[in-house]
């Protein structure tokens, strides 16, 4: 099964809506609540990063019997140094975004903690692709 969602950059009023849709579907499919909790954190952070840092993006969620894979792909500024971006506390969020309580530099670390496999690819001035995989067993 595969699901697609569009994510609009800069539109904080809708931030989290794609993640919320996926959560509903996983609940309906009776996926283990512990898995849902982890997946939701990772998806939300990847979604908000598109809203906060990029122009637009897409989320594709693929559900297999043994795993859930989510790819969040955006057009945007890209990430020059991914290792640096992964560090807790590192953020380039604008003052407006920080005022809302975003920009703690905890989103990518949250993603890392809440999926089993994480693969980030980015091209500066083009975009970023975040691929997250979570397995249902173990």
Residues that bind Mg ion (CB under 5 A): 49, 107
Please state, in angstroms and rounded to a whole number, the distance separating the CA atoms of residues 14 and 20: 10
- Token pair recorded at residue 27: 């609940």
What binding mask, one character per residue, do residues 40-59 give for another protein by CB under 8 A, x or -? xx--xx--x-----------
- Answer whether 17's CB lies under 8 Å from 40's CB: no
Query: 7 is in the binding site of which of another protein, ligand ATP, Mg ion, none (Cβ under 5 to 8 A by kind)?
Result: none
Question: How many residues are there in the chain?
Answer: 138
Give burial (CB, 10 Å; 0-12/13-18/19+) of 137.
exposed
In the complex, the smallest distance separating the C-beta of residue 136 from ligand ATP, rounded to whole angstroms, is 26
* DSSP conformation class of 15: T
In the complex, the smallest distance separating the C-beta of residue 20 from Mg ion, rounded to whole angstroms, is 17
Query: 76 is in the binding site of which of ligand ATP, another protein, Mg ion, none (Cβ under 5 to 8 A by kind)?
Result: ligand ATP
φ/ψ of 122, rounded to 5, equals: -150, 145
- Give the binding site for another protein (CB under 8 A): 12-13, 15-17, 19-20, 23, 37, 40-41, 44-45, 48, 100-102, 104, 106-107, 109-110, 113-114
């Amino acid at each position: 099964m595969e699901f697609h969602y569009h994510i609009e950059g800069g539109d904080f009023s809708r931030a989290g809506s794609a993640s919320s849709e996926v959560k509903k579907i996983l609940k309906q499919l009776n996926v283990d609540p512990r898995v849902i909790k982890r997946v939701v954190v990772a998806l939300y952070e990847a979604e908000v990063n598109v809203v906060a840092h990029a122009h637009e993006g897409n989320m594709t969620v693929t559900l297999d019997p043994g795993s859930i894979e989510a790819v969040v792909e955006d057009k945007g500024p890209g990430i020059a140094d991914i290792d640096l971006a992964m560090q807790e506390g590192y953020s380039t969020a604008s003052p407006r975004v920080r005022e809302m309580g975003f920009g703690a530099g905890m989103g990518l670390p949250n993603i890392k903690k809440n999926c089993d496999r994480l693969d980030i690819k980015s091209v500066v001035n083009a975009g970023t692709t975040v691929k997250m995989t979570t397995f249902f067993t173990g």
